[in-house]
Chain A
Amino acid sequence: MRETNAPILTVENLSIAFGETEAVRGLSFEVPRGGTLAIVGESGSGKSVTSMAAMGLLKFTGGRVTSGAIRLHGKEGETAITGASEAALRRLRGNRISMIFQEPMTSLDPVFTIGSQIGEALKLHRGLGGRAARDEAARLLELVRLPNARAQLDRYPHQLSGGMRQRVMIAMAVSCRPDLLIADEPTTALDVTIQAQILQIIRDMQSEFGTSVVFISHDMGVVSEMADEIVVMRNGEMVETGRAEDVILRPKADYTRALMAAVPKIGAMQGSESPRKFDLPGQAAAEGGDHPAPERAEPLVRLDKVTTRYDITSGFFGRVSHRVHAAEDVSFEIHPGETLALVGESGSGKSTVGKTLQQLVRPVSGRILYRGTDILSLDPAERQRFKREIQYIFQDPYGSLNPRKTVKQSLTEPMATHGLLRDADAQVAELLTSVGLKSEHAGRYPHEFSGGQRQRIAIARALSVDPGLIIADEAVSALDVSVQAQVINLMMDIQARRGLAYLFISHDMAVVERVSHRVAVMYLGEIVEMGTRRQVFETPQHPYTKRLLRAVPVMDPTRPPERVTLTGDIPSPIRAIGDPRRSHGFVEVAPGHILADNHENFEKYREGIAS
């Protein structure tokens, strides 16, 4: 009777409010049966709130639907979600509509086993208990290709990695063959190679169960790989909707066009020697010509076989039994005015290298030369002076500024520490203007600023002591894409003006391609490939670099998604004391392009570590 191509979910004129504040206004869309609708937007756009409304979970977040309707047209006929009783919604949730959340690390209850948590849904909606539930749970975990599925049932969430937990979440979500699966930023917290695997599993589940999907994301690359249709949201309203291909390739609304311009696209820099700013509407296009090339004469910083390890103690006497091999024999140079990008996934040791360079942790061996001086051999007082030369910008602009200090206090503190304070007001005003803020912002507190503005303040603080090198540790990762583009442009302007060098630590290959002169790829504490940006991105040699680049979602809706092989997790850099060293040498494949000599037998090397 029902039309088979009727939408699975219809949202009509939906408005949502939190107290007096409207979060969503007059939103209407339809989710195609068996297809995927992506809702994209930046923070505060109302995309997650909409998904909570579709689950009937809005009241638990403090929000309420003020007008409009959401209807599900599932296997069991039409059901109104807005206005339904809690009892009716409970029969729907986890059964006809289910959801995967953003943070796999906190999505599972830490005190119950995986098996019992999957079993709950099976018992509730399918009446399975005991052995039957256990068998079914094991089968579901096999479907999401969790290794040793049956053995995982008795494990607790903390014993699983983020990628594995997200697979458990997916298994739980599809356990009752839902009509609709809502995935709210399901891969945002995951590494890019793990993200590719999770996206693959979601697609597989979709074809296995014929489930329709609402996919919520801020990442246009991911959306482009997953979506049939797209809804673009901004400030609670729909800006544009249409087929994925049309929205991505031929955006109509100004906002969508600006959003697309701000998205770093991997491969966009092919053939270009120097980094390039983003062309943002309303901003002067790349200031006259190319971004300046670094001075090649004498390196500003040179790391020579730097090794940093953390001890892990265990047993009754707290003896050191294992070590985290966070950075092993890391060597590279950064020249004045140069951006060296350090890329890698979690546990690759990229942040440890930054912290070692900033003297926040002491390496177990190796040398750090700053303009030819070995910093580590200096006495503490002199070493303190060198701290001024290297400044740090952290990932989280909310956590890295003291909430009880005004901007002026935050900016003058490092200057006072290093004896550079002369005319505080004038110096602060100059710093603020140089990062695109106003001098009257000096008396305000961090909570009065947005994330992007706070990151600008953090940059101003780093600049306040006039350093030679700034370590930007995932400095733009937490920002919305349009803000991210602005902050990157700012960092590049400052580099062009001051001849500053950056160590740009990031997991985001597309951003790295945009900003860097040279790139070093790290894997389990070691550099596996290093070269100019073009060498690494256009002629990658190491299998790991290739896999990393392949895993990056490409914003090209005409290209069918590539099947990824499920290689599982990144092995751990923790090794027992007395474990044989598994270090490798390097070969130079082209001038300046060096490669770990394990590239031919990398898979064996990898499995050797993982086992």
Chain B
Amino acid sequence: MPILSFILKRVIQAGFVLIAVTLFVSFAIRLTGDPAVMMLRESANVTPEDLERIREGLGLNRPFLVQYGDFIAGLVTGDLGQSFFRGAIAPLVSGALGATLLLALTSLAVSLLISIPLGIYAATHRGSFGDQLVRVLSLAGLSFPNFWLGIMLVLIFSVTLRWLPPSGFTGPQSLIMPAVTIGVILTSTNLRIVRTTMLDVLSSQFIMVARAKGLSQTKVVYKHALRNSSIALVTYLGLQFGSLMGGLVVVELVFNWPGMGTLAIEAIAQRDYPILQTVISILAVLIVAVNLLVDLTYMLLDPRIRLE
């Protein structure tokens, strides 16, 4: 019973967060400028009636809450409506979302595959040459601005060596450079988190007890220590997901990756409210959902939460 009430509480909290985020986004976008004016900026002899006609056509002359209500209803039913300039929103967003998730999950997987074993190695060989090397590399990785790293990769692998396509999405090989760019940044921070939490857990008394039982180093580290540090690691990954989404925008631009970031930037340039609203709202849903998932993962990993 307490588990159900725990989950229900989190779901309701998530609902409130989403309402607040969408409301704020819809409201704030409308403060940035009038799309009707933007559309007719290049034209001569614009009369107020012309502007009014465009506003009427876009539904902008209705009260804000009605527009907001329409938008939410659309999100819930999946009918995302029409953009101002680019036709139906649903196919645009679903394509971009797929591309972004592909990129995000690939880079996350790459970073975990590197940072977990390396972080464990550094923690179990504290102070050794390998540990020092890991720490230096991780600091170096953190010090690159990710767009700069992206540009460097393009210069080397596309422009000079001509091994990989410089931009866009033309096949699996297109994924490599953007995923490496984000993966390097993620790996650098994750490496530190894995190392620190492992060091923390390894100094626990129950680890010494496990050794005193005669368990092998492998059992001690991969069974007892890793399971315990995964609780902290999952928390961190949940928090990281938000900034990962933010970081993607920049990298998508560098590689002209057809994802949510690129779509959002284009929509901002055109004052295409419906697209921007939808993109930001869906990213918010995604982040909230991931954090909800993190809370549920706790219960799997930590009996102290499950059986409280």
Contact = CB atoms under 8 A, between A and B. Distances in A.
B214 interface: yes
B209 interface: yes
Interface string A547-589: 0000000000000000000000000000000000000000000
* From B2, B8, B212, B216, residue with most partner A Cβ within 10 Å: B212
Contacts of A60: 208, 211
Contacts of B303: 110-111, 156, 158
A150 B219 CA distance: 26
B206 A125 contact: no
Contacts of A109: 206, 209-210, 224, 227-228
Given A107-B206, A107-B209, A315-B5, A125 B227 contact: no
- A60, A107, A109, A124 interface centre (most CB from chain B within 10 Å): A109
Interface in A138-191: 156, 158-159, 169, 172
B62 interface: no
Among A103, A111, A120, find the residue whose CB has the most chain B CB atoms closer than 10 A.
A111
A55 B217 CA distance: 15
Interface in B195-224: 204-206, 208-217, 219, 224
A94 interface: yes
A91 interface: yes
A98 interface: yes
B301 interface: yes
Interface string A449-488: 0000000000000000000000000000000000000000
B41 interface: no
B86 interface: no
A193 interface: no
Contacts of A314: 2
Contacts of B307: 156, 158-159
Contacts of B8: 316
A11 interface: no
B212 A108 contact: no
Contact of B214 (A95, A156, A315): A95
A93 interface: yes
A332 interface: no
B213 A94 contact: yes
B302 interface: yes
Interface residues of B, number: 27
Contacts of B9: 316
Interface string A347-361: 000000000000000
Contacts of A316: 5, 8-9
B62 to A, nearest CB: 38
Given A106-B205, A156-B303, A57 B212 contact: yes
Contacts of B211: 57, 60, 93
A438 B217 CA distance: 50
Nearest to B126: A62
A90 B215 CA distance: 7
B215 A124 contact: yes
Contact of B209 (A91, A101, A315): A101
Grouping DSSP codes into helix (H, G, I), strand (E, B) and loop, the B interface class, with mixed when no group exceeds half, is: helix
Nearest to A93: B214
A555 B302 CA distance: 44
A156 B212 contact: no
Given A90-B216, A92-B214, A93-B214, A169 B5 contact: no
Contacts of B208: 57, 60, 101
A16 interface: no
A99 interface: yes
A110 B304 contact: yes
B192 to A, nearest CB: 22
B228 A111 contact: yes
Contacts of B214: 90-95, 121, 124-125
Given A315-B5, A316-B5, A316-B8, A108 B216 contact: no
Nearest to A55: B212
Interface in A50-101: 55, 57, 60, 86, 90-95, 98-99, 101
| Chain B CB within 10 A, most for which of A60, A95, A169 | A60
B204 A106 contact: yes
A109 B301 CA distance: 12
Most A C-beta atoms less than 10 A away, residue of B2, B214, B216, B304: B214
Interface in B1-17: 2, 5, 8-9
A111 B213 contact: no
Contacts of B205: 101, 103, 106-107
B224 A99 contact: no
A110 B213 contact: no
Interface string B265-308: 00000000000000000000000000000000000011110010
A314 B1 CA distance: 11
A98 B302 contact: no
B215 A110 contact: no
Contacts of A156: 303-304, 307
B4 to A, nearest CB: 9
A111 B297 CA distance: 13
A159 B305 CA distance: 11
Contact of B228 (A55, A103, A110, A125): A110
Contacts of B224: 109, 112
Nearest to A182: B212
Nearest to A317: B5
A510 B298 CA distance: 45
A107 B208 CA distance: 8
Given A109-B224, A159-B307, A316-B9, A169 B209 contact: yes
Nearest to A158: B304
Contact of B302 (A86, A111, A315): A111
Q: Determine which residue in B211, B227, B228 has the highest number of CB atoms from chain A within 10 A of its CB, and name it.
A: B211
Contacts of A159: 307
A315 to B, nearest CB: 6
Contacts of A93: 211-214
Given A106-B206, A159-B307, A316-B8, A111 B301 contact: yes
B238 to A, nearest CB: 19
Contacts of B210: 109, 120
Nearest to A86: B217
A284 to B, nearest CB: 43
Nearest to B2: A314
A450 B303 CA distance: 39
A316 B208 CA distance: 39
A93 B212 CA distance: 5
A519 B219 CA distance: 51
Contact of B213 (A86, A121, A158): A121
A328 B212 CA distance: 44
A289 B219 CA distance: 64
Given A107-B206, A111-B303, A120 B212 contact: no
A53 B5 CA distance: 49
Nearest to A125: B214
B236 to A, nearest CB: 18
Contacts of B216: 90
Contacts of A124: 213-215
Given A107-B205, A110-B206, A111-B227, A94 B212 contact: yes
A95 B215 CA distance: 11
Given A101-B205, A314-B2, A110 B302 contact: yes
Nearest to A91: B214
Contacts of A172: 213
Given A106-B205, A120-B219, A169-B209, 5 more contacts: A57-B208, A94-B213, A94-B215, A106-B206, A110-B228
17 contacts: A57-B211, A86-B217, A90-B214, A94-B212, A94-B213, A98-B212, A106-B205, A109-B206, A109-B224, A109-B227, A109-B228, A120-B210, A120-B213, A121-B213, A156-B304, A314-B2, A315-B5
The 3 closest A-B pairs by CB, nearest first: A94-B213, A94-B214, A93-B214
Interface of A: 55, 57, 60, 86, 90-95, 98-99, 101, 103, 106-112, 120-121, 124-125, 156, 158-159, 169, 172, 314-316
